[in-house]
Structure formats: C-alpha cells, structure tokens
Amino acid sequence: MEEKKIPEEKTERSLNFIEEIIEEDLRNNVNEGRVHTRFPPEPNGYLHIGHAKSICLNFGLGKKYNGKTNLRFDDTNPVKEDVEYVDSIMEDVRWLGFDWEDRLFYASDYFEQLYEYAIILIRKGKAYVCDMSAEEISETRGTPSRPGKESQSRTRSEEENFDLFNRMRAGEFPDGSRVLRAKIDMASPNMQMRDPVIYRILHATHHRTGDKWCIYPMYDFAHGQSDSIERITHSICTLEFEVHRPLYDWFIREIGIYAPRQIEFARLNVTYTVMSKRKLLELVQEGYVNGWDDPRMPTICGLRRRGFTPGSIRNFADTIGVAKRDNVIDVNLLEFCIREDLNKKSNRIMAVLNPVKVILDNYPDDQIEELESVNNPEDESKGKRKVPFSKTIFIERDDFMEDPPNKFFRLAPGREVRLKAAYIIRCESVVKDPKTDEIAEIHCTYDPQTKSGMPDSNRKVKGTLHWVSEKQAVTAEIRLYDRLFTKENPEDIEEGKTYKDYLNPDSLKVITAMIEPSVKNARISDKYQFERIGYFCVDKDSTPQNLVFNRVVPLKDSWSKAEKVK
C-alpha cells in the first residue's frame, strides 16, 4: 500500500492581535519577559457572557505566557457597589475554571496611595480644587467639536488647593460642593483631557472601607494607577476606553510611576439578547425575568442555571476570537458549543414531552420487561441502564401522523417503526376522542422477534422513536426556554418603541413530561440528553418529589426545519 504523505500538522494557531503585541514585547524583553494581566470588574452587577470573554482572555493570556492574572474589583463608587456582587463575581470566575490564587485585590486597597498621587499632582500644579457644580462643569466642558471654558478655580494657588483637598477629605464640605480636577487642557480635542474630575465628595459608606472616606477617586484616576501598582504588563480593556488612554498615560507620567500597556478590544455582542448591565438590571427589577440567574439571561449565573458548562463557554470565548472591529456573534455558535460538549458528556434518557398513548394489542397484559439501553453512544464507558417496557406506553404526539407525507419516517397507520432499545411495532388502528377528534389511543402490534439484540431486530425500518412505559413513568416539570428577544438586535429600535417591545412572549413555556424511571436519580445541575429532543438540566427548584428540568438547548432538528420551509 502506498503511504500517503501526511501534511505537516499545523498545531500552532494563529495569534490574535493581543498575543502578537505580547509576543513582540516578549521579544523586546519589555518587562523582563513578564506577562501579568488582570480582570477588573466593578462589583455593581452580575457578570455576563461578555465578561466571560474578558475573563477567558485575561486568564488565558496569563496561562499561555506563564504569567499571572489578578482579580481586582474596581470599587471606587460606594453608591452602586455591594458585597453581593463581589461574591457572585468570584463564584462566576471560579466556576469558569480560573484561579487568581493569592492575588485578589480591590481598588479600595489603594485609596491611601491614590490620595498621595493626587497630592503629587496638586504639588506639581497639575490638579486643582474646583468649586463649580456638576451642572456648571458640564456646561463649561464644551462639545466634541467646540472647546470648553476654563474654571475660575483653575488659578488657585498650590497651597490653597492642598488645604482645600485635605479639608475635602476631612469632611468639611457637603457632597457635590467641590471636586478635585486634573489641570490639563480645556481645549483638547479629546474630551477626556478637558480637566477631568478626579476626586468627588461622597458621604457614603463603602462596602469595604466603611466610613473611612468621604472623598472617592473617579474610575479614571484609579484604574490606570491600580494597574501600575499591581505591575500589570498588559492592561486589556474594551474599546470605549481607547480615548481614555491618553489620560491614563498623562497620570502615570505626571505621577512618575510604572506604565502598563493598555490594549483595547471589541466587546462581545450576541444576537437575540442584550448585554448592557443597565438593561439586564431593568429586566430583573421589572420582573421580565425571574432574577439574575434566570436561565434566559446572558449572565454567567443564568447560563450556569440553564445548563451550560464552563468548558462550553471557554470554548465559545476561544472560537469567537478577539479583534477591534464591532461584532455580533450568532447565538447559534453558543448553542453549537454547548451541544458539542453535552453530546460527549451527557447520558441519554427517554422523555416524552407531549404524550399520546400507544397500546400493543398483542403484548401480554401484565408483562413488564426490563430492557437495556446505552447511556451514551459517544462514550461506551458510561455503560447501560434498564428501562421498563410494557403493553401501554407513551410516544410523542408529533411522532404519529394519520395521513403522513412521503418523507415522514415515523408512525402512521400500517407503518412500522422501531422503539428505541425495544421492539419494532406496526400501527393497526387509532381511537379518537369523539368530541375533540383528537387521537386518544394508537393501537399497534409488536414483533416479538425484533427485540434489540435479536437477529431480526436488524431489519431496516425508517424511524426510531423514544417512548416511556405508562405505569413506570415519572412526571417532571419541564421549562422550555427560548431566546429572550424576538429581534436579532433588540437595540435596533423603531420609533416610539423600546428594546422591551421585542421581548419574546414565548421565551418560557412550562409543561409536564413523562420520563423513564431512571431519572429518579437525577440531582440538581445534572445534565441529560432527552433522546431525540434536546439537552436538559435539573434546575435548583427540583426536589425528588417534584423534578424540574430546564431545556438547555434542543437537538438539531432537520425534520422540523424541512417542514418549516414548506
């Protein structure tokens, strides 16, 4: 036999633009070969899939380049932040499979240092206490195309600024009465450079520092310096902070401290959902969903409850890549990632969501057989289980048609189908409800020679159906989730509407299903493939007496797709 030449395997994946920058820095020995990143959330909300992209990016880079990754909470606004969020964020990062080891930090750890930095600026004549109100500051800032006006306070002496700033800290002034501003350039074409506010007075209790402070640094005055303090080599953030970079560079230069390199990437968007914290909060507060972890939410806790695995989300983050152009990822890709993962990992069981009764007329009345079925055809090590079979079973109502089209491979009068792991049956007649004309019973005969494993069972039949035995079936509540919005881009809003007008009224349907008895062993967060239907996850509301399943995602269904086209 001739040996085919195996083309050289391209194991090395091409680099994304951030990795290119890092490798270039590494080649130039920029930080003595050190790579140190960080994930810097504000604890004012729950993390979503967009954050997951950032988490995977930052921690992934740390791992890839033998570096480190910090978790730092940017908690400079006590009014909006809370330990509830701190806890959920840590849980989510850990669940995604990442570890910050002993490097858990808070911007509030640096308040004293940041205060010192402000003093340096004041001493250099690069910062001043401004007496204007928020409105006045806003009015004098100008517009992107028109320069702003300088504040009267701009000419204050160094001593007076120093004195006033200390008295701000001492609590002598009410909220909003004064701020500390950087003295840069009110005519700068970059709005960020027009004497930005760097400290404001806020008599508010901070979730970590309590009442120690009544002045708090603005994010812009804390973020870059925090990265500097932590000796972050590559500060990776989203695109909207690109225009802030000159300001961060200015602070670093004027204060005279270590300069990280900031790199901006495009944030994630996914079709049929929204990603802004404000909108997600609204959905929760106004009751459109049942909390932050509602399985329809794009939050990490929502995805977790829905039944997504950490690996599937990591793989998703990997597949979407990272670049600077705006992007909208098809939600299909997310669904592909979870199917791919669960296909290999989850055991199969049979569940009938919309049952219709099938009676096997020639099957012994009281006989019950324990049939064997494979748990996972993708993984033989998962073994087999027993499934009870009897004279009366349920099948899916959709799996029967009285007058079927040619391509219908399922049960119909006179036709044969295989019952998964059981027998081949033939439909002999149907009984209808005289009032509703709905099919009440389907009468079939079974072929005893076709039990799975028997030689005759190899007979070709076009369809295989899942089923459950009536007597042994277990009922369970099933929550069928669908996309939260009906519109691909819910933020593309028509006149007089809001994104909430595109909420999908059918995003949750609750039904009762009949499931094979082995399901009794199911525990919260267990995931199954309901044969021929989809992947399902035991919800936290589930109890042994009242099982509750979430539909993670349906199986691909080329039959119903073909039907829809018609």
Partner RNA sequence: UGUCCCAUGGUGUAAAGGUAGCACAAGAGAUUUUGGUUCUCUCGGUUCAGGUUCGAAUCCUGGUGGGACAACCA
Task: Count interface residues toward RNA (CB under 7 A).
Answer: 98
Which of 28, 145, 285, 381 forms a contact with RNA (CB under 7 A)? Answer: 145
Q: Are the beta carbons of 292 and 303 closer than 8 angstroms?
A: no
Angle at 536 between CA 439 and CA 301, to 5 degrees: 140
Which of 25, 74, 92, 294 forms a contact with RNA (CB under 7 A)? Answer: 74
The one segment of 119-127, 252-260, 291-299, 338-346 that binds RNA by CB under 7 A = 338-346
Q: Which of residues 175-194 bind RNA (CB under 7 A)?
A: 175-179, 189-192
Selection from 492, 546, 541, 499 nearest residue 519 by Cα = 546
Q: Is 39 helix (H, G, I), strand (E, B) or coil?
A: strand
Which of 36, 306, 348, 479 forms a contact with RNA (CB under 7 A)? Answer: 348
Q: How far is the CB of 34 from RNA (least distance, A)?
A: 20
Q: Catalytic positions, please?
A: 42, 267, 277
Place of tokens 């990754």: 69
Q: Which of residues 312-331 bind RNA (CB under 7 A)?
A: 319-330
Q: Which residues of 436-460 are buried (b: 16+ CB within 10 A; e: fewer)?
A: eeebeebebbbbeebbbeeeebeee
Residue with smaller CB distance to RNA, 350 or 508:
350
Cβ neighbours of residue 551 under 8 Å, at least 6 residues apart?
478, 479, 480, 481, 534, 535, 536
The CA distances from residue 52 to 41, 47, 85, 303, in Å, are: 11, 7, 15, 11
Which of 113, 166, 205, 343 forms a contact with RNA (CB under 7 A)? Answer: 343
Per-residue contact flags (x/-) with RNA for residues 422 to 451, judged by CB under 7 A: -----------------------------x
Provide the 10 A C-beta neighbour count for residue 14: 8
Q: Which of residues 402-421 bind RNA (CB under 7 A)?
A: 407-410, 418, 420-421
CA distance 77 to 75: 6
| Encoded tokens for 386 | 């027993």
Q: Which of residues 233-292 bind RNA (CB under 7 A)?
A: 239-244, 266
Q: Which of residues 477-496 bind RNA (CB under 7 A)?
A: none
Residue with smaller CB distance to RNA, 287 or 405:
405
Per-residue contact flags (x/-) with RNA for residues 78 to 107, judged by CB under 7 A: -xx---------------------------
The one segment of 10-18, 85-93, 162-170, 286-294 that binds RNA by CB under 7 A = 10-18
Q: Are the beta carbons of 264 and 238 closer than 8 angstroms?
A: yes
Phi-psi group of 195: left, alpha or beta (phi > 0 → left; psi -120 to 50 → alpha; rest → beta): left
Is residue 527 involved in binding RNA (CB under 7 A)?
A: no
Q: How far is the CB of 228 from RNA (least distance, A)?
A: 16
Selection from 115, 225, 240, 130 nearest residue 186 by Cα = 130
Selection from 522, 478, 95 nearest residue 313 by Cα = 95
Q: Which of residues 41-60 bind RNA (CB under 7 A)?
A: 42, 44
CA distance 21 to 186: 33
Residue with smaller CB distance to RNA, 248 or 292:
248
Q: How far is the CB of 330 from RNA (least distance, A)?
A: 4
Which of 22, 118, 137, 289 forms a contact with RNA (CB under 7 A)? Answer: 137
Q: Which of residues 350-409 bind RNA (CB under 7 A)?
A: 376-378, 407-409
Q: Which of residues 19-38 bind RNA (CB under 7 A)?
A: 20, 23
Q: Which of residues 546-565 bind RNA (CB under 7 A)?
A: 555-559, 561-562, 565
Residue 31 DSSP one-character state: T
